[in-house]
Amino acid sequence: MKLRPQAIFSLLFFVFFMVFVYESHEWRLQARLYPWVIGFPMLLLALIQVILDLKGVQSKPDSGGAPVDFQMSKEVDPAVAKRRAINIFSWIFGFFFLIWLLGFSIAIPVLVFGYLKIQSREPWVLSIILTACAWVAFWGLFVWLLNLPFPQGLILEWLGIGS
């Protein structure tokens, strides 16, 4: 067994998820559900990766494994790649900004509809149907089924709308 940078990196992830899961152990069940559902599988996967890294197991080059962005972007013009990266990061930061201003319940349908109409240029009917499906899936799973409380957005708090 050899302690290589890959093994140290994997070990750091394992420790992160151990802390992630441990910190939530005293929370009420509803609050610790998310950290545990994500944390325990990630602990297992991180442990497997640490073991593989300590053993020195590496993927074979050109083994036909899962493609990664670097391999796929060898033939893409750097200016195009930069523009695409800026575009997607703008959408991500815009989503965070919408959540902060409007809250999750409003931000999700606004973002889905905006992305479908502006970025993907989908037809109105398809955009509306997919937006409704996304909102129903969000609301049905997180609000109705799991009964998770989501904070109101900043604008809604200022206006005194909702509770």
Q: Summarize pLDDT for 19-58 with one digit per residue, the tens.
A: 989 998 888 888 888 889 998 999 999 999 999 888 887 7
Domain boundary among 38, 55, 72: 55
In a domain, 90, yes or no: no
Residue 137 structural domain: 103-163
pLDDT at position 116 is 95
In a domain, 47, yes or no: yes
Question: In the predicted model, is pLDDT for residue 3 greater than 80?
Answer: no
In a domain, 98, yes or no: no
Residue with tokens 């973002």: 111
In a domain, 75, yes or no: no
**Residues paired with 152 in a beta bridge:** 103
Of the candidates 21, 3, 22, the residue with the CA atom closest to the CA atom of residue 11: 3
From CA 55, how far away is CA 10, in angstroms rounded? 13
In a domain, 29, yes or no: yes
- Give me the number of domains the chain comprises: 2
From CA 135, how far away is CA 105, in angstroms rounded? 8
pTM of the model as a whole: 0.56
